[in-house]
């Protein structure tokens, strides 16, 4: 029996990278999944169907842009009208920015915050309407070590993830008393398309110089930590930031 059997999860950023790995690990652990992506994609639909068949579970694709509040609201309505439980929310979707602060236009900073912070905050507010009624749930916000550590070119992205980390801690203090846990995962450099943007700016050596294991994580290694926090094995873990970074030097 999977450790997430009988649970329903909403996972954003499900179409690639860590998000795709999270969907597969959740499916493997027998969760029902709302797999959220920004735009309809036939390959994504086929991929989700194959995963659902492989692990004998239900995966429902759902499309909305995390930077557009109206689209988040409409997507939530689709979830809400089923009158089913939502046991887990994984705020995974995000965008990266790796430019020096003085070279970053304000509209780009706002765009990053809309997707990385304000979108997850609004979606969480929506999902909490269900979780609060249930008086149970697990919310995992996927941040980054960039929201904790300081590196040049990281002001915009790192600040958005720092905001998400602080939000996670404060929310945990508010909703823990009604049985809802909120934690953040802070991955280090991970083998995804997103990391290529950073590699092009800072180079591989600088990217890994603080990692004791001297390599990037795989998406599955991050997904495994998220599965754990979503499961009942983590029933008394709340308000924490879990670094998954191979050991920081």
Question: Which of 15-29, 73-87, 168-182, 190-204 is least confident?
Answer: 190-204
Instruction: Kindly state the percentage of the chain with pLDDT values over 70.
Output: 94
3-class secondary structure for 52-119? HHHHCCCEEEEECCCCCHHHHHHHHHHHHCCCCCCCEEEECCCCCCCCCHHHCCHHHHHHHHHHHHHH
The β-bridge partners of 243 are 186
CA 60 – CA 23 distance, rounded (Å): 11
CA 7 – CA 9 distance, rounded (Å): 7
Q: Which residues carry out catalysis?
A: 157
Instruction: Kindly state the percentage of the chain with pLDDT values over 90.
Output: 86
pLDDT computed for residue 85 by the predictor: 96
Mean pLDDT of all residues belonging to the chain: 94
**Torsion angle in degrees (nearest 10) through CA of 90, 185, 202, 121:** 50
pLDDT of 169 strictly over 80: yes
Selected residue with higher pLDDT from 117 and 211: 117
Return the closest-CA partner of residue 133 out of 85, 78, 72, 73.
Answer: 85
pLDDT computed for residue 248 by the predictor: 79
pLDDT of 174 strictly over 80: yes
In this predicted model, what pLDDT tens digit does every residue of 85-102 receive, in sequence order? 999 999 999 999 989 999
In this predicted model, what pLDDT tens digit does every residue of 187-221 receive, in sequence order? 999 998 766 655 555 555 566 888 889 889 999 99
Answer yes or no: are the C-beta atoms of 149 and 108 closer than 8 Å: no
pLDDT of 50 strictly over 60: yes
The β-bridge partners of 35 are 11, 61
Selected residue with higher pLDDT from 192 and 137: 137
pLDDT computed for residue 152 by the predictor: 87
pLDDT computed for residue 192 by the predictor: 85
């Amino acid at each position: 029996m999977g450790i997430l059997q009988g649970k329903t999860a909403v996972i954003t950023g499900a179409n690639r990278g860590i998000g795709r790995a999270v969907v597969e690990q959740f499916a493997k652990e027998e969760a029902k999944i709302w797999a959220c992506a920004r735009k309809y994609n036939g390959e994504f639909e086929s991929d989700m169907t194959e995963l659902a068949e492989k692990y004998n579970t239900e995966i429902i694709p759902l499309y909305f842009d995390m930077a557009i509040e109206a689209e988040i609201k409409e997507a939530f309505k689709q979830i809400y009208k089923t009158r089913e439980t939502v046991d887990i929310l994984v705020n995974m979707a995000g965008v990266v920015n790796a430019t020096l602060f003085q070279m970053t236009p304000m509209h780009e900073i706002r765009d990053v915050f809309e997707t990385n912070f304000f979108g997850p905050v609004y979606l969480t507010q929506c999902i909490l309407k269900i979780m609060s009624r249930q008086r149970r749930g697990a919310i995992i916000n996927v941040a980054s070590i960039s929201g904790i550590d300081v590196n040049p070119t990281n002001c915009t992205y790192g600040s958005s993830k720092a905001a998400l980390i602080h939000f996670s801690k404060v929310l945990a203090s508010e909703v823990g008393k009604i049985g809802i846990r909120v934690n953040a995962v802070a991955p280090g450099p991970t083998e995804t398309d997103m990391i290529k943007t950073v590699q092009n700016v800072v180079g591989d050596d600088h990217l890994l110089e603080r990692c004791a294991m001297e390599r990037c994580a795989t998406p599955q290694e991050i997904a495994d930590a998220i599965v754990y926090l979503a499961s009942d094995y983590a029933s008394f873990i709340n308000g924490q930031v879990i670094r998954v970074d191979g050991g920081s030097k």
